Protein backbone atom coordinates (compact mmCIF):
# COMPACT_ATOMS: atom_id res chain seq x y z
CA UNK A 1 0.00 0.00 0.00
CA UNK A 2 1.46 3.32 -1.05
CA UNK A 3 1.55 6.32 1.31
CA UNK A 4 -1.32 7.98 -0.57
CA UNK A 5 -3.58 4.95 -0.27
CA UNK A 6 -2.63 4.56 3.38
CA UNK A 7 -3.74 8.14 4.10
CA UNK A 8 -6.93 7.61 2.10
CA UNK A 9 -7.74 4.55 4.16
CA UNK A 10 -7.06 6.49 7.34
CA UNK A 11 -9.42 9.26 6.25
CA UNK A 12 -12.12 6.79 5.37
CA UNK A 13 -11.82 5.29 8.83
CA UNK A 14 -11.48 8.61 10.67
CA UNK A 15 -15.00 8.29 12.02
CA UNK A 16 -14.35 4.79 13.32
CA UNK A 17 -13.38 5.15 16.97
CA UNK A 18 -13.41 2.77 19.87
CA UNK A 19 -16.83 2.47 21.47
CA UNK A 20 -16.70 2.92 25.24
CA UNK A 21 -19.83 1.43 26.80
CA UNK A 22 -20.77 3.26 29.98
CA UNK A 23 -19.97 1.30 33.11
CA UNK A 24 -22.99 0.73 35.33
CA UNK A 25 -23.49 3.05 38.28
CA UNK A 26 -23.25 0.00 40.51
CA UNK A 27 -19.69 -0.73 39.35
CA UNK A 28 -18.61 2.87 39.88
CA UNK A 29 -20.20 2.86 43.32
CA UNK A 30 -17.99 -0.11 44.20
CA UNK A 31 -14.81 1.83 43.47
CA UNK A 32 -14.42 1.09 39.77
CA UNK A 33 -13.14 3.76 37.38
CA UNK A 34 -15.11 4.71 34.33
CA UNK A 35 -13.36 3.66 31.16
CA UNK A 36 -11.41 6.34 29.33
CA UNK A 37 -12.66 7.22 25.89
CA UNK A 38 -9.65 8.74 24.15
CA UNK A 39 -10.49 8.99 20.44
CA UNK A 40 -8.00 7.77 17.87
CA UNK A 41 -7.13 11.00 16.08
CA UNK A 42 -6.20 12.67 13.90
CA UNK A 43 -4.83 9.61 12.07
CA UNK A 44 -6.09 6.05 12.10
CA UNK A 45 -4.48 2.85 10.79
CA UNK A 46 -7.47 2.35 8.48
CA UNK A 47 -8.93 -0.71 10.16
CA UNK A 48 -11.82 -0.58 12.66
CA UNK A 49 -11.24 -1.67 16.25
CA UNK A 50 -13.66 -4.16 17.83
CA UNK A 51 -16.25 -2.89 20.31
CA UNK A 52 -15.56 -3.80 23.94
CA UNK A 53 -18.78 -4.71 25.82
CA UNK A 54 -19.55 -3.23 29.24
CA UNK A 55 -18.50 -5.32 32.23
CA UNK A 56 -21.06 -6.68 34.67
CA UNK A 57 -19.18 -7.52 37.88
CA UNK A 58 -16.36 -6.16 40.03
CA UNK A 59 -13.51 -7.87 41.87
CA UNK A 60 -11.20 -5.91 44.20
CA UNK A 61 -7.64 -7.15 44.65
CA UNK A 62 -6.54 -7.63 48.24
CA UNK A 63 -3.05 -6.66 49.35
CA UNK A 64 -1.00 -7.96 52.25
CA UNK A 65 1.12 -4.82 52.47
CA UNK A 66 4.66 -4.55 53.84
CA UNK A 67 6.20 -5.78 50.61
CA UNK A 68 4.67 -9.26 50.80
CA UNK A 69 4.02 -10.92 47.44
CA UNK A 70 0.46 -10.20 46.30
CA UNK A 71 0.66 -12.28 43.12
CA UNK A 72 -1.79 -14.95 44.34
CA UNK A 73 -4.34 -12.28 45.24
CA UNK A 74 -3.96 -10.69 41.82
CA UNK A 75 -4.38 -13.99 40.02
CA UNK A 76 -7.40 -14.94 42.16
CA UNK A 77 -9.22 -11.68 41.46
CA UNK A 78 -8.48 -11.87 37.74
CA UNK A 79 -9.73 -15.45 37.47
CA UNK A 80 -12.89 -14.55 39.40
CA UNK A 81 -13.66 -11.62 37.11
CA UNK A 82 -12.49 -13.04 33.79
CA UNK A 83 -15.17 -13.22 31.07
CA UNK A 84 -17.06 -10.04 31.77
CA UNK A 85 -15.62 -8.46 34.91
CA UNK A 86 -13.80 -5.40 36.20
CA UNK A 87 -10.77 -5.89 38.48
CA UNK A 88 -9.89 -2.99 40.80
CA UNK A 89 -6.40 -2.30 42.20
CA UNK A 90 -7.42 0.25 44.83
CA UNK A 91 -6.14 3.80 44.89
CA UNK A 92 -3.46 4.53 47.48
CA UNK A 93 -2.38 0.89 47.81
CA UNK A 94 0.82 -0.76 46.62
CA UNK A 95 0.62 -4.29 45.22
CA UNK A 96 3.91 -6.17 45.36
CA UNK A 97 4.54 -8.69 42.57
CA UNK A 98 7.26 -11.24 43.20
CA UNK A 99 6.00 -14.01 40.91
CA UNK A 100 5.94 -14.12 37.12
CA UNK A 101 2.28 -13.98 36.04
CA UNK A 102 1.07 -15.54 32.79
CA UNK A 103 -2.07 -13.54 31.97
CA UNK A 104 -2.48 -14.61 28.35
CA UNK A 105 -5.81 -16.33 29.12
CA UNK A 106 -7.75 -13.08 29.65
CA UNK A 107 -11.07 -12.50 27.93
CA UNK A 108 -13.55 -9.60 28.16
CA UNK A 109 -11.99 -8.07 31.26
CA UNK A 110 -10.95 -4.61 32.52
CA UNK A 111 -7.96 -4.16 34.83
CA UNK A 112 -8.52 -0.91 36.72
CA UNK A 113 -5.12 0.00 38.16
CA UNK A 114 -5.69 2.96 40.49
CA UNK A 115 -2.87 2.12 42.91
CA UNK A 116 0.73 1.01 42.32
CA UNK A 117 1.88 -2.37 41.03
CA UNK A 118 5.52 -2.78 42.03
CA UNK A 119 7.80 -5.65 41.05
CA UNK A 120 10.31 -6.97 43.56
CA UNK A 121 14.04 -6.35 43.21
CA UNK A 122 14.94 -10.06 43.42
CA UNK A 123 17.13 -10.08 40.34
CA UNK A 124 18.07 -13.76 40.70
CA UNK A 125 14.41 -14.81 40.68
CA UNK A 126 13.45 -12.67 37.71
CA UNK A 127 16.44 -13.72 35.61
CA UNK A 128 15.41 -17.34 36.12
CA UNK A 129 11.63 -16.95 35.88
CA UNK A 130 10.69 -13.92 33.75
CA UNK A 131 8.92 -14.89 30.53
CA UNK A 132 11.35 -15.39 27.67
CA UNK A 133 10.16 -13.81 24.45
CA UNK A 134 11.51 -14.77 21.03
CA UNK A 135 13.27 -11.55 20.00
CA UNK A 136 16.64 -10.21 21.14
CA UNK A 137 16.66 -12.25 24.36
CA UNK A 138 13.76 -10.17 25.67
CA UNK A 139 12.04 -11.17 28.91
CA UNK A 140 8.96 -9.75 30.63
CA UNK A 141 7.75 -9.57 34.24
CA UNK A 142 4.31 -10.70 33.09
CA UNK A 143 2.43 -11.56 29.88
CA UNK A 144 -0.86 -9.78 29.22
CA UNK A 145 -2.83 -11.35 26.40
CA UNK A 146 -6.08 -12.89 25.30
CA UNK A 147 -9.09 -11.10 23.84
CA UNK A 148 -10.82 -7.80 24.64
CA UNK A 149 -8.66 -6.61 27.54
CA UNK A 150 -8.55 -3.02 28.82
CA UNK A 151 -6.05 -1.64 31.35
CA UNK A 152 -6.44 1.86 32.79
CA UNK A 153 -7.12 3.68 36.06
CA UNK A 154 -4.43 6.35 36.46
CA UNK A 155 -2.15 4.12 38.56
CA UNK A 156 1.49 3.10 38.26
CA UNK A 157 3.57 0.10 37.20
CA UNK A 158 6.97 0.30 38.92
CA UNK A 159 9.79 -1.95 37.69
CA UNK A 160 12.16 -1.23 40.62
CA UNK A 161 14.80 -0.53 38.01
CA UNK A 162 17.69 0.86 40.05
CA UNK A 163 18.99 -2.54 41.14
CA UNK A 164 18.94 -3.60 37.49
CA UNK A 165 20.79 -0.51 36.26
CA UNK A 166 23.55 -1.20 38.77
CA UNK A 167 23.67 -4.91 37.97
CA UNK A 168 23.81 -4.33 34.21
CA UNK A 169 26.79 -2.02 34.70
CA UNK A 170 28.67 -5.02 36.14
CA UNK A 171 27.43 -7.60 33.61
CA UNK A 172 25.80 -6.55 30.33
CA UNK A 173 24.72 -10.13 29.55
CA UNK A 174 22.08 -10.33 32.29
CA UNK A 175 18.45 -10.64 31.21
CA UNK A 176 16.55 -7.56 32.36
CA UNK A 177 12.75 -7.85 32.34
CA UNK A 178 10.53 -5.54 30.29
CA UNK A 179 8.01 -3.72 32.47
CA UNK A 180 4.81 -4.20 30.44
CA UNK A 181 4.47 -7.24 28.18
CA UNK A 182 1.52 -7.16 25.78
CA UNK A 183 1.87 -10.63 24.31
CA UNK A 184 -0.74 -12.19 22.04
CA UNK A 185 -3.48 -9.63 22.77
CA UNK A 186 -6.34 -9.57 20.28
CA UNK A 187 -8.13 -6.26 20.84
CA UNK A 188 -7.56 -4.02 23.84
CA UNK A 189 -6.86 -0.56 25.22
CA UNK A 190 -3.96 0.36 27.53
CA UNK A 191 -4.61 3.90 28.79
CA UNK A 192 -4.08 6.47 31.53
CA UNK A 193 -1.15 4.73 33.21
CA UNK A 194 2.24 5.69 34.64
CA UNK A 195 5.16 3.40 33.80
CA UNK A 196 8.20 3.91 35.99
CA UNK A 197 11.75 2.54 36.37
CA UNK A 198 11.69 -0.31 33.89
CA UNK A 199 14.82 -2.51 33.97
CA UNK A 200 14.87 -2.52 30.16
CA UNK A 201 12.20 -1.66 27.53
CA UNK A 202 9.01 -0.23 28.98
CA UNK A 203 6.65 -1.94 26.52
CA UNK A 204 6.92 -4.96 24.26
CA UNK A 205 3.91 -5.45 21.98
CA UNK A 206 4.31 -8.90 20.39
CA UNK A 207 1.97 -11.08 18.34
CA UNK A 208 -0.86 -8.64 19.01
CA UNK A 209 -3.59 -6.99 16.91
CA UNK A 210 -6.07 -4.15 17.36
CA UNK A 211 -4.45 -2.57 20.42
CA UNK A 212 -4.47 1.11 21.40
CA UNK A 213 -2.01 2.73 23.83
CA UNK A 214 -3.12 6.21 24.86
CA UNK A 215 -2.22 8.79 27.51
CA UNK A 216 0.74 6.91 28.96
CA UNK A 217 3.44 8.57 31.06
CA UNK A 218 6.87 6.92 30.92
CA UNK A 219 9.81 7.94 33.09
CA UNK A 220 12.54 6.54 35.30
CA UNK A 221 16.17 7.48 35.53
CA UNK A 222 19.05 6.08 37.52
CA UNK A 223 19.95 7.62 40.85
CA UNK A 224 23.51 6.28 40.59
CA UNK A 225 26.28 6.76 38.04
CA UNK A 226 25.01 3.64 36.23
CA UNK A 227 22.75 4.89 33.46
CA UNK A 228 19.39 3.30 32.75
CA UNK A 229 20.07 1.75 29.32
CA UNK A 230 17.91 0.20 26.58
CA UNK A 231 14.78 1.69 28.11
CA UNK A 232 12.74 1.89 24.89
CA UNK A 233 9.26 3.36 25.27
CA UNK A 234 7.57 0.85 22.96
CA UNK A 235 8.83 -1.99 20.79
CA UNK A 236 6.36 -3.61 18.40
CA UNK A 237 7.03 -7.09 17.05
CA UNK A 238 4.88 -9.29 14.82
CA UNK A 239 1.93 -7.02 15.49
CA UNK A 240 -0.72 -5.33 13.34
CA UNK A 241 -3.19 -2.45 13.69
CA UNK A 242 -1.57 -0.75 16.67
CA UNK A 243 -1.99 2.86 17.82
CA UNK A 244 0.38 4.65 20.22
CA UNK A 245 -0.73 8.18 21.01
CA UNK A 246 -1.05 11.14 23.39
CA UNK A 247 1.88 10.15 25.61
CA UNK A 248 4.94 11.63 27.32
CA UNK A 249 8.14 9.59 27.29
CA UNK A 250 11.35 10.37 29.23
CA UNK A 251 13.73 7.51 28.59
CA UNK A 252 17.16 6.40 27.41
CA UNK A 253 16.63 4.61 24.11
CA UNK A 254 14.12 4.49 21.24
CA UNK A 255 10.96 6.41 22.01
CA UNK A 256 9.12 3.94 19.75
CA UNK A 257 10.73 1.17 17.72
CA UNK A 258 9.09 -0.92 15.01
CA UNK A 259 10.74 -4.32 15.21
CA UNK A 260 10.30 -7.15 12.64
CA UNK A 261 6.86 -7.70 11.11
CA UNK A 262 5.21 -4.56 12.48
CA UNK A 263 2.42 -3.44 10.13
CA UNK A 264 -0.35 -0.85 10.01
CA UNK A 265 0.77 1.25 12.96
CA UNK A 266 0.01 4.87 13.84
CA UNK A 267 2.15 6.81 16.32
CA UNK A 268 0.90 10.32 17.04
CA UNK A 269 0.98 13.20 19.50
CA UNK A 270 4.03 12.16 21.52
CA UNK A 271 6.51 14.13 23.61
CA UNK A 272 9.84 12.28 23.62
CA UNK A 273 12.82 13.36 25.71
CA UNK A 274 16.25 11.75 26.02
CA UNK A 275 15.52 9.03 23.49
CA UNK A 276 17.01 7.56 20.33
CA UNK A 277 14.08 8.72 18.20
CA UNK A 278 11.15 7.07 16.45
CA UNK A 279 12.92 4.11 14.89
CA UNK A 280 12.21 1.55 12.23
CA UNK A 281 14.36 -1.37 13.33
CA UNK A 282 16.78 -2.63 13.94
CA UNK A 283 16.01 -5.12 11.15
CA UNK A 284 17.88 -7.86 9.31
CA UNK A 285 19.61 -8.99 12.47
CA UNK A 286 19.08 -12.73 12.08
CA UNK A 287 20.47 -14.50 9.01
CA UNK A 288 17.82 -16.34 7.04
CA UNK A 289 14.86 -14.60 8.73
CA UNK A 290 12.54 -12.25 6.82
CA UNK A 291 11.68 -8.94 8.52
CA UNK A 292 8.82 -6.83 7.15
CA UNK A 293 7.88 -3.36 8.41
CA UNK A 294 5.26 -1.51 6.38
CA UNK A 295 2.38 0.97 6.57
CA UNK A 296 3.75 3.07 9.42
CA UNK A 297 2.49 6.62 10.02
CA UNK A 298 4.16 8.87 12.60
CA UNK A 299 2.57 12.26 13.20
CA UNK A 300 3.12 15.27 15.47
CA UNK A 301 6.08 14.36 17.65
CA UNK A 302 8.19 16.60 19.88
CA UNK A 303 11.74 15.23 20.15
CA UNK A 304 14.23 16.73 22.63
CA UNK A 305 17.72 15.84 23.84
CA UNK A 306 17.85 12.75 21.66
CA UNK A 307 20.27 10.96 19.36
CA UNK A 308 17.79 10.94 16.46
CA UNK A 309 14.45 12.23 15.27
CA UNK A 310 13.39 9.85 12.48
CA UNK A 311 15.56 6.77 12.24
CA UNK A 312 15.66 3.68 10.03
CA UNK A 313 18.31 1.15 11.03
CA UNK A 314 19.12 -2.05 9.17
CA UNK A 315 21.91 -4.57 9.69
CA UNK A 316 24.32 -5.13 6.76
CA UNK A 317 24.80 -8.39 4.89
CA UNK A 318 27.87 -9.26 6.93
CA UNK A 319 28.03 -10.29 10.58
CA UNK A 320 28.50 -7.24 12.81
CA UNK A 321 28.65 -6.45 16.51
CA UNK A 322 27.15 -3.31 17.99
CA UNK A 323 28.03 -4.48 21.51
CA UNK A 324 28.79 -7.65 23.45
CA UNK A 325 25.08 -8.37 23.89
CA UNK A 326 23.89 -7.17 20.45
CA UNK A 327 25.21 -8.69 17.22
CA UNK A 328 23.72 -9.64 13.88
CA UNK A 329 23.53 -9.14 10.14
CA UNK A 330 22.52 -10.95 6.98
CA UNK A 331 18.74 -11.04 7.45
CA UNK A 332 16.19 -10.57 4.66
CA UNK A 333 13.06 -8.43 4.27
CA UNK A 334 11.71 -5.01 3.36
CA UNK A 335 10.84 -1.63 4.84
CA UNK A 336 8.10 0.13 2.85
CA UNK A 337 5.39 2.80 3.06
CA UNK A 338 6.86 4.65 6.01
CA UNK A 339 5.77 8.23 6.75
CA UNK A 340 7.16 10.66 9.32
CA UNK A 341 4.90 13.72 9.24
CA UNK A 342 5.56 16.62 11.60
CA UNK A 343 8.35 16.67 14.14
CA UNK A 344 9.71 19.51 16.29
CA UNK A 345 13.33 18.90 17.30
CA UNK A 346 15.50 20.42 20.01
CA UNK A 347 19.08 19.36 20.75
CA UNK A 348 18.82 16.20 18.64
CA UNK A 349 22.07 14.78 17.19
CA UNK A 350 20.60 13.79 13.81
CA UNK A 351 17.21 15.02 12.62
CA UNK A 352 17.05 12.09 10.20
CA UNK A 353 19.18 8.95 10.12
CA UNK A 354 18.93 6.15 7.58
CA UNK A 355 21.56 3.43 7.75
CA UNK A 356 21.96 -0.08 6.37
CA UNK A 357 25.22 -0.50 8.25
CA UNK A 358 23.81 -0.78 11.77
CA UNK A 359 26.38 -2.40 14.05
CA UNK A 360 29.15 -2.27 11.42
CA UNK A 361 31.75 0.47 11.87
CA UNK A 362 33.71 -0.54 8.75
CA UNK A 363 31.77 1.14 5.92
CA UNK A 364 34.03 -0.41 3.29
CA UNK A 365 33.09 -3.87 4.53
CA UNK A 366 29.44 -2.87 4.74
CA UNK A 367 29.43 -1.70 1.13
CA UNK A 368 31.18 -4.90 0.08
CA UNK A 369 28.38 -6.89 1.74
CA UNK A 370 25.30 -4.68 1.33
CA UNK A 371 22.15 -5.27 3.26
CA UNK A 372 19.80 -8.03 2.10
CA UNK A 373 16.89 -5.95 3.39
CA UNK A 374 15.41 -3.24 1.15
CA UNK A 375 14.23 0.24 2.13
CA UNK A 376 11.72 1.97 -0.16
CA UNK A 377 8.71 4.31 -0.27
CA UNK A 378 9.76 6.46 2.68
CA UNK A 379 8.42 10.00 3.20
CA UNK A 380 9.84 12.36 5.80
CA UNK A 381 8.25 15.81 5.91
CA UNK A 382 7.45 18.90 7.94
CA UNK A 383 10.38 18.82 10.39
CA UNK A 384 11.53 21.98 12.18
CA UNK A 385 14.00 22.81 14.94
CA UNK A 386 17.69 22.50 15.71
CA UNK A 387 20.18 19.71 16.13
CA UNK A 388 22.82 19.39 18.83
CA UNK A 389 26.49 20.30 18.46
CA UNK A 390 27.56 16.66 18.20
CA UNK A 391 27.70 16.40 14.38
CA UNK A 392 27.64 20.10 13.48
CA UNK A 393 27.62 21.09 10.59
CA UNK A 394 25.69 17.90 9.75
CA UNK A 395 21.99 17.63 10.65
CA UNK A 396 21.39 14.16 9.24
CA UNK A 397 22.87 10.90 8.00
CA UNK A 398 21.44 9.26 4.86
CA UNK A 399 23.75 6.38 4.01
CA UNK A 400 22.67 3.09 2.45
CA UNK A 401 24.90 0.15 1.61
CA UNK A 402 23.78 0.08 -2.06
CA UNK A 403 21.31 2.04 -4.23
CA UNK A 404 19.86 -1.28 -5.43
CA UNK A 405 18.40 -1.97 -1.98
CA UNK A 406 17.53 1.60 -0.94
CA UNK A 407 15.34 3.84 -3.10
CA UNK A 408 12.30 6.12 -3.27
CA UNK A 409 13.35 8.17 -0.24
CA UNK A 410 11.42 11.46 -0.17
CA UNK A 411 12.31 14.36 2.13
CA UNK A 412 10.00 17.37 2.02
CA UNK A 413 9.80 20.65 3.92
CA UNK A 414 12.51 19.81 6.44
CA UNK A 415 13.99 23.08 7.73
CA UNK A 416 16.06 21.75 10.63
CA UNK A 417 19.39 23.49 11.15
CA UNK A 418 22.54 22.88 13.14
CA UNK A 419 23.69 25.27 15.90
CA UNK A 420 25.98 26.91 13.34
CA UNK A 421 23.08 27.43 10.95
CA UNK A 422 23.88 24.73 8.38
CA UNK A 423 21.54 22.10 6.93
CA UNK A 424 24.02 19.55 5.59
CA UNK A 425 23.53 15.77 5.44
CA UNK A 426 26.01 12.93 5.03
CA UNK A 427 24.74 11.05 1.94
CA UNK A 428 25.62 7.88 0.04
CA UNK A 429 23.97 5.25 -2.17
CA UNK A 430 20.49 6.82 -2.37
CA UNK A 431 19.56 7.84 -5.90
CA UNK A 432 18.15 11.37 -6.17
CA UNK A 433 18.76 12.36 -2.56
CA UNK A 434 21.14 15.18 -3.49
CA UNK A 435 18.28 17.00 -5.24
CA UNK A 436 16.24 16.94 -2.02
CA UNK A 437 18.74 17.89 0.68
CA UNK A 438 22.13 19.56 0.97
CA UNK A 439 24.40 16.53 0.68
CA UNK A 440 27.97 15.95 1.67
CA UNK A 441 29.00 12.77 -0.09
CA UNK A 442 30.66 10.09 2.04
CA UNK A 443 32.53 7.01 0.85
- Residue 128 three-state SS: helix
Q: Is 276 a catalytic residue?
A: yes
Number of Cβ atoms within 10 Å of the Cβ of 435: 7
User: What's 134's DSSP letter?
Assistant: S
Is the C-alpha dihedral spanning 398, 403, 405, 407 positive or negative? positive
Alpha carbons 301 and 247: distance in angstroms, whole number: 10
Catalytic option among 43, 44, 86, 276: 276
* E strands in 274-400: 278-283, 290-304, 308-314, 320-323, 326-328, 332-348, 350-355, 372-387, 394-399
Report yes or no: 180 and 144 within 8 Å, Cβ to Cβ. yes
Q: How far is CA 51 from CA 16, 80, 189, in A?
A: 11, 23, 11
Alpha carbons 364 and 424: distance in angstroms, whole number: 22
Number of Cβ atoms within 10 Å of the Cβ of 139: 20
Catalytic (active-site) positions: 276
Amino acid sequence: MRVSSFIAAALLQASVTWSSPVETDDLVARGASKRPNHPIKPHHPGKPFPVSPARTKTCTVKTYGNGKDDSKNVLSAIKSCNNGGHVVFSKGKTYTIGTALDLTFLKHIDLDVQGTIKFTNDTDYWQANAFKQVFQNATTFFQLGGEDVNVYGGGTFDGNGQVWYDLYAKNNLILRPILFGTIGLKSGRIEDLNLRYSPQWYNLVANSTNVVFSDISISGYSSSSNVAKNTDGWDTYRSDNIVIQNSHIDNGDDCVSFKPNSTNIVVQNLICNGSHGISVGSLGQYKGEVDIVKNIYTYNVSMSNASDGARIKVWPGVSSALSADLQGGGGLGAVSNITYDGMVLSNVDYAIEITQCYGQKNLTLCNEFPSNLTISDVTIKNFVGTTSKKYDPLVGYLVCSSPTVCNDINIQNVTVKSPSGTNQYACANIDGIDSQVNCKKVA
